[in-house]
Chains A and B, each alone.
Chain A
C-alpha cells in the first residue's frame, strides 16, 4: 500500500533529479582539454582527472574565491533565514488575527513572494541605484550596487523581503491546527498575550515552522538570481556558490562547474541534516500514534504552564 502511494513521487523525482545528478557527478571527474590545435580549433575531448577538480577547488590557486563564495553563501543563508523567520512569524501572527481588512493584509503579505524574482531583482536594482529612491529617502550617497558591505545589505534586504511571506504562510497554516481551547484554558489562568505566544503558539507551530525554515535553508543556500541581477556576477562581496558554478559553466569549464554543484549539494545536505538532527528530530521521526497524543499532552501542559 505504502509502495503504491509513494512510487509515483519517486518516479518523478528520479526522472528530474537522478539523471542530472549522476551526470554531474560523472562530469565532475573530467576536465575539458585546454588549448588549441595548429589550426586554432579547440582540442576536443575531455580527460579523466579523478578528484582533481575537487582538489583544485579546495586547495588550488583559485581556492580563495571558493572559500569566499562559501562564506558568502553561509553568511547570506543564516542572516536572511534568521530575519525571515522572525518576520515570517510576525506576519503569521498578524494574519491570524481577526480584524476588518485582514483579507487585504494577507494578499499584501503574499505580494513580495508572488513577484517573479527576475522582475523583483530589477526592481531592487533600480531602487538601490546610486541616484535611486533608496538613497533619496535615506538622504545618502551609498553605492549599493558596487562592491562591499552595502551590496550585501542590499541583497539581504531584498531577499528577506521576498521570502519572509513563504515562512509566514506556512506558519499561519500551522497555527490553524492549534485548538482554541488551549488558549481559553491559558486565558482562564490569566496568561497574557506574550506568554500565550511563547508557551502555546510557538511550541505548537514548531513542526510547521521547522519545515518552512528547512525549505528556506535549502533555497537560500542555492541563492542565485537575486545577487546576480541586483549586484551582478563576479562581485566578490556577493558571490555565492551557485553564482560561482554558473560562472564556471559560462566559461565552458563544465568539470569544475559540476564539482561546484556537487560540493554545494553536499553542503546543503549537511546543513539540512544538522538542522534536522539538532532542531527537528520529530519532523523526520517515524509517525506513530503517540505523536498526536503527545502533541495534545504538550498542548495541555503548555496551557497549564502559561497559566502559572
Chain B
C-alpha cells in the first residue's frame, strides 16, 4: 500500500477537479463571459431562493398580517417561532427524532448500498441486470398503497411507536437510489488502480476501502444528502406508525400545529417550522459541500 501515495492516486485517477484545476480555464474567458456567468448565477440563486424568501418573510409576520403581500413584514414578529417552540409541542424532541430516523436511514442505506454496488460493479456473477431491476422495482410501488399493509404488519410484530417502523420503510426509497447511483459511480472509476494496489499486496478489502471508496466519495456524499433529506421529509409513514409524541418526527409535529380554530391553518407557524427544519440541513450541506464537490482533491492537497 505504501507504494501508492495519494498523490499518485490523483495523478492517475482522473478524479481531479476543483478550484485549483479550474483556474486556468477561468483566465481564458473575457469580461463578457464573466458577466454572462454572474448573470446566470444570479438567476439560479434568485430562482431557488425567491420562494424560500417568501417563506422566511411570512414566518416573521404577525398572525394578523400573515396574508400581506409586502416584500418585508410591516411588523417584524417572532410570534410564529415562539409558537413552534412552545413547550407543548416539544419541537426540539421532534427534530431529534427526525435526525435519528433520517440519520439511521442514511447510514443503513449507504452501508447496504455500498456493498451491493460494489458487488454489482466489481464482482462477476449472474443475473446482475435482474437484480438491479428488482432493486429499482421496489421504489416503483406507490407509497400510499404501502401504509395499511405495513401498519398491519408492524402492529403484529409490535413495532408501532418504534424508530425502526419509520426507518425500514424509508429504506425502500433510499436503498435503490444508493445502489443505482453508487453502481454507476463505481463502474465509471478505473479498475486498474485497485488492481495495482492488489499487486502491491493490498487485500481486496483494502483495495476497496483505501482506493475505491475515497474515489467514490462525491457519489457517496451526494447519495447521503439526497436520502437524508428524503427521509427527513417523510410524512405519511411516520404519521401512521407512531402516535407517541415522544417519538414523532418533525413533519408529523408540524401537521399538529394549530391555528386559533379548526378552520385556521397556522400558516405562520408552519412557515417558521419550515425554516427551522431547513436550516440544519443547509448547515450540514455547507459542512459537507467540499466533500460533495471536491471529492478527494481538497483533502489530498492540504
Contact = CB atoms under 8 A, between A and B. Distances in A.
In the complex, is A directly touching B at CB under 8 Å? yes
Interface of A: 1-3, 5-6, 8-10, 12-13, 15-17, 19-21, 23-24, 87, 90-91, 94-99, 103-120, 122-124, 126-127, 129, 131-133, 136, 161, 165-166, 169-170, 172-181, 183, 187, 193, 207-208, 210-211, 214-215, 218, 222, 224-225, 241-242, 245-246, 249, 254, 257-258, 261, 264-265, 268-269, 272, 283-287, 289, 291-292, 295-296
Given A110-B282, A289-B191, A265 B140 contact: yes
B281 interface: yes
Contacts of B55: 115, 119, 123
A107 B289 contact: yes
B265 to A, nearest CB: 7
A97 B293 CA distance: 10
Interface of B: 14-19, 21-23, 25-26, 28-29, 33, 37, 40-41, 44-45, 47-49, 51-52, 54-55, 58, 67, 69, 108, 112-113, 115-116, 118-123, 125, 128-129, 131-146, 148-150, 152-153, 168-169, 171-172, 175-177, 179-181, 183-185, 187-191, 218-219, 221-222, 225-226, 229, 232-233, 235, 250-251, 254-255, 265, 267, 270-271, 273-274, 277-278, 281-282, 285-286, 289, 292-295
| Dominant SS among interface residues on chain A | helix
A20 B233 contact: no
A104 B177 CA distance: 26
A108 B171 contact: no
A117 B232 CA distance: 11
A122 B149 contact: no
Contact of B25 (A116, A166, A187): A187
Given A5-B118, A105-B45, A180-B21, A284 B138 contact: no
Question: Which among B14, B175, B190 has the highest number of chain A CB atoms within 10 Å?
Answer: B14
Contacts of A114: 229, 232-233, 278, 281-282, 285
11 contacts: A6-B119, A20-B150, A87-B47, A97-B37, A111-B278, A115-B278, A119-B270, A178-B17, A193-B33, A211-B180, A265-B142
A281 to B, nearest CB: 10
Given A17-B138, A107-B286, A211 B184 contact: yes
A115 B52 contact: yes
B15 A176 contact: yes
A123 B22 contact: no
B105 to A, nearest CB: 11
Contacts of A118: 235, 251, 254-255
A46 to B, nearest CB: 14
A6 B115 contact: yes
Given A1-B119, A111-B48, 10 more contacts: A1-B123, A16-B169, A106-B292, A113-B226, A115-B278, A136-B69, A172-B222, A179-B15, A193-B29, A249-B148
A261 B142 CA distance: 6
B141 A131 contact: no
Contacts of B122: 287
B232 to A, nearest CB: 8
A122 B22 contact: no
B44 A9 contact: no
Contact of A292 (B17, B175, B191): B191
B259 to A, nearest CB: 12
Given A6-B119, A170-B222, A208-B185, A175 B17 contact: yes
B69 A117 contact: no
Contacts of A90: 40, 44
Nearest to A266: B140
Contacts of B286: 103, 106-107
A94 B41 contact: yes
Residue of A3, A9, A24, A117 ringed by the most chain B CB atoms within 10 A: A9
Given A16-B172, A122-B270, A218-B139, A111 B37 contact: no
Contact of A264 (B142, B265, B271, B273): B142
A65 to B, nearest CB: 17
Contacts of A241: 142
Nearest to A208: B184
Contacts of A211: 180-181, 184
Contacts of A109: 44, 48
B188 A265 contact: no
B274 A19 contact: no
A207 B185 CA distance: 8
A113 B133 contact: no
A70 to B, nearest CB: 14
Given A95-B293, A211-B180, A292 B190 contact: yes
B289 A106 contact: yes
Contacts of A214: 136, 180
A5 B116 contact: yes
A88 to B, nearest CB: 11
Contacts of A210: 184
Contacts of A215: 139, 176-177, 180
A157 to B, nearest CB: 9
A87 B51 CA distance: 16
Given A6-B116, A12-B171, A122-B265, A110 B180 contact: no
A105 B44 contact: yes
Contacts of A129: 67
Contacts of B294: 176
A83 to B, nearest CB: 12
